[in-house]
Amino acid sequence: MNKVLMVHPTDNVMVALKDLEASEEINFEGQHLTTVGPVKSKHKFALKDFDKGDEVYMYGVLVGKATQPIKKGEAMTTENVKHAASDVVVRERKTDWIKPDVSAFENRTFKGYHRTDGQIGTQNMWLVVPLVFCENRNVLAAKEILEEKLGYSKGRDYDLDIDGLLQKIENGADSSGLIDEDIVIPLAEQKKNRAFKNVDGIKFLLHDGGCGGIRQDSDTLCQLLAGYLNNPNVAGATFLSLGCQNAQVEILQDAIKKVNPKFDKPVYYVEQQKSSSETDFISNIVKYTMAGLVEANKVERQEAPISALRLGLECGGSDGFSGISANPVIGYVSDMLVALGAIPILAEFPELNGVEQSLTDRCVEEKDAQRFVDLMAIYKHRAEAVGSGFDANPSPGNIKDGLITDAMKSAGAAKKGGSSPIVEVLDYTEQVTKKGLNLLCTPGNDVESTTALAGSGATLITFSTGLGTPTGNPITPVIKVSSNSILAERMKDIIDFDTGSVITGEDTIATKAAKMLDYLLEIASGNAETNSMRMRHDDFIPWKRGISL
């Protein structure tokens, strides 16, 4: 394994792949230098002497400026480098790209759920959703009644047979006899006990919206929920309405029609202010949900082409290796999917700051290039208006592990989008429809962004991380991809796929990407569960625009 890495031939910094001591000799690809002081693994060090104001380049793009003189071989830190990014203009299209070899996957399929409008999902979920936060308590009441009885109580690898113990007590067993009983029910056995074999789960969403605030927030919430209904991973839903909230049933119904004029999934609306009692209200929620599950259970997994997949591209808890292992591997998978006729979706606009020019150039249509520039400008203005900015995006964890400017973080994060042309630029809650790489405006916040990706149609989400995060989604499988093997071993209950072998040189980006696509097809077919699915990380946070990075 090499001690260092130069990511791009035009860079003037290098990455330490291991902890470097002071006065350590570095000889790599024609570069010869001696470290001035210690350089931690994942951090960067100077390949030249920098004067104050000199530009810092990594991944071939501007990622910062020196705030003081930096010696050749000295570590780059928040003390001597500040965020800087290149200006962006809409210019001629640069959409040529080299397609990866996908011959091994051309005839591959997965087993998905075919919807009547032609969409194909990787899951078959029923939703129970409040239109307003006042109904969160009743959603939880329905969950308590329905979930375990129908065999969907998860969150651990086992369940306990309390009913069996109660039966033995009823039959006269004494205390000593109970202690010797084996009451552990493995996860695989739990699934056999499900009442609806073709329904992968009932998901009970909670949120703090639907009323109060501004009317636009409630309208946007309805658009997001319409997107969740339209996602082919969803079979239908039961909506709980108080009755007087801003997010009226009619607004949601109009949003559904706008999202998909062919929409025909079963949807039920239960209004508390029209109910005679809470007992009557909860009873109706349960009955409508059970009726919906009967319909959802009629759909079975069938063979489907890879071209039907929609892969959300997300990262969180990034480290200094994310941009050289996990994200490039995901980017190669993205390119493979484009070559196979599928749809990857790159989100997190604050984490594209500094690489706008290359992404703008890759837009097939000039109107999409201009829309991307406009959305980024609006987002940046909103962040600055509340006293922040894109430069505040790196978290303390990012900085500690080597991502010291937003542009440096962004340049690595953008690698998830590969190199293929961008076919469409979408705003929050808009639906993906065009085959090829799409850009979706979301915040960098992990859960708000994964929530948005599922709401715009993602049927799988890859989530790269160098530090570890338990984020999941209620309707779309989230595959956690570690940038380094130390994390994969330490947090094996969270990480699903390890790309650390790219850092050690045991794998290339291409070989690891092929393994990842194999794994994604297993998840899409229901042959395996991600750790976030197993542990019930059903995170759902709608975005209130203008206040999140």
| Residue 530 resides in a domain | yes
- Does some domain include residue 447? yes
Domain of 23, in residue numbers = 4-83
pLDDT band at 136 (very low <50, low <70, confident <90, very high): very high
- Domain contains 112: no
Distance, in Å, from the CA atom of 15 to the CA atom of 43, rounded to the nearest integer, reads: 6
Whether 444 and 377 share a structural domain = yes
Assigned domain for 394 exists: yes
Decide if 498 is inside a domain.
yes
The chain-wide mean pLDDT, for the chain, equals: 93
CATH number of domain containing 232:
3.40.50
Pick from 64, 83, 102: which residue ends a domain? 83
pLDDT at 188: 65
**Domain identity same for 346 and 226:** no
The average pLDDT across 472-483 equals: 98
The count of structural domains within the chain is: 3
For residues 255 and 313, membership in a common domain is answered with no
- Per the CB < 8 A criterion, the answer to whether 258 and 153 are in contact is no
Q: Residue type at 491? A: M
Q: What is the mean pLDDT of residues 280-285?
A: 96
Same domain, 14 and 79: yes
Q: Is the pTM of this model over 0.85?
A: yes
Q: Are 252 and 336 in the same domain?
A: no
Residues 6+ positions from 52 with CB-CB distance below 8 Å: 66, 67, 68, 69
pLDDT over 70 (residue 418): yes
Asked whether the predicted pLDDT for residue 353 surpasses 90, the reply is no
What is the C-alpha separation between 76 and 150, in angstroms, rounded? Answer: 56
Q: 547 pLDDT exceeds 90?
A: no
- What pLDDT, in 10s, does the model give residues 228-245? 999 999 999 999 999 999
Query: Of the residues 274, 298, 322, which one is the last residue of a structural domain?
Result: 298
Domain match, 474 and 530 both: yes
* Distances 505 to 59, 288, 386, 509, 511 between C-alpha atoms, Å: 19, 55, 45, 10, 11
Residue pLDDT, tens place only, 155-204 = 666 677 777 888 888 888 877 777 778 877 776 666 677 889 999 999 99
Specify if 109 maps to a domain.
Answer: no
Furthest CA-CA distance within the chain: 85
51 and 131 fall within a common domain: no
Q: Are residues 19 and 75 in the same domain?
A: yes
pLDDT tens by residue, 359-376: 999 999 999 999 999 999
Residue 549: its pLDDT value, please? 54
Q: Which among 84-88, 330-334, 402-406 has the top mean pLDDT?
A: 330-334
CATH (domain of 74) = 2.30.130.110
The answer to whether residue 395 scores a pLDDT higher than 90 is: no
The residue among 382 and 520 whose pLDDT is bigger is 520
420: pLDDT strictly greater than 70? yes
Does any domain span residue 514? yes
Bridge partner list, 25: 34
Share of the chain above pLDDT 90, in %: 79
- Assess whether 286 and 413 both reside in one domain: no
Which of 298, 331, 365 delimits the end of a domain?
A: 298
pLDDT in tens, 455-477: 999 999 999 999 999 999 999 99
Distance CA 313, CA 450 (A): 9
pLDDT digits (tens, 9 = 90+) for 75-122: 999 999 999 888 899 999 999 999 999 999 999 999 999 999 999 999
pLDDT at residue 226 is higher than 60: yes
Same domain, 421 and 502: yes
Which residue from 382, 377, 406 is spatially nearest to 392, judged by alpha carbons? Answer: 406
Q: Taking Cα atoms as reference points, which of 67, 43, 44, 45 lies closest to residue 55? A: 67
Q: What is the pLDDT of residue 181?
A: 80
> Got the DSSP string for 494-519?
T--EE-HHHHHTSS-HHHHHHHHHHH
Residues 231 and 379 in one domain: no
| % the chain with pLDDT above 70 | 97
Residue 546 pLDDT greater than 60, yes or no: no
- 120 within domain boundaries: no
Co-location of 451 and 387 in the same domain: yes
Dihedral sign of CA atoms 119, 432, 542, 319 in order: positive
